[in-house]
Amino acid sequence: MSTINRQVQRDVARIDRPEIQIGMSDKHRLRPLVPPGDWVGSDPFLLLVEDWFLENVFDRHPHRGIETVTYVIAGAIEHYDNHGNKGRLNPGDVQWLTAGRGLIHNEQPADGQLAHILQLWVNLPSADKLVPARHQHLQADTVPVRREHGAEVRVFSGSSAGVTSPTKNYAPVTMVEIRLQPGARIEQDLAAGYNGFVVVVEGSGALGISGAHTGKGDLAWLTPCVEPSRLTLTGGDQGLLALLYAGKPLGEPVAARGPFVMNTDAELIAGFAEFRAQGEHFGL
* Known binding positions for Fe cation: 61, 63, 105, 107
* Known binding positions: 61, 63, 105, 107
For residues 203 and 240, is the Cβ–Cβ distance under 8 A?
yes
- Tell me if the bond preceding 18 is cis, omega within 30° of 0: no
In whole angstroms, how far apart are CA 148 and each of 99, 114, 160, 179?
36, 33, 11, 10
N-to-C CA span, the chain: 51
List Cβ<8 Å contacts ≥24 apart for 265-268. 267/65, 267/129
Distance CA 206, CA 214 (A): 6
Give, for 268, the enclosing helix (H) or strand (E). helix 265-278
Query: Is 111 in a helix, a strand, or coil?
Result: coil
Range list of β-strands (E), 139-218:
145-148, 151-157, 159-160, 163-164, 173-180, 185-190, 195-207, 212-215
58-85: string of b/e by CB count within 10 Å (b at 16+)?
Answer: beeebbbbbbbbbbbbebbbbbebbbeb
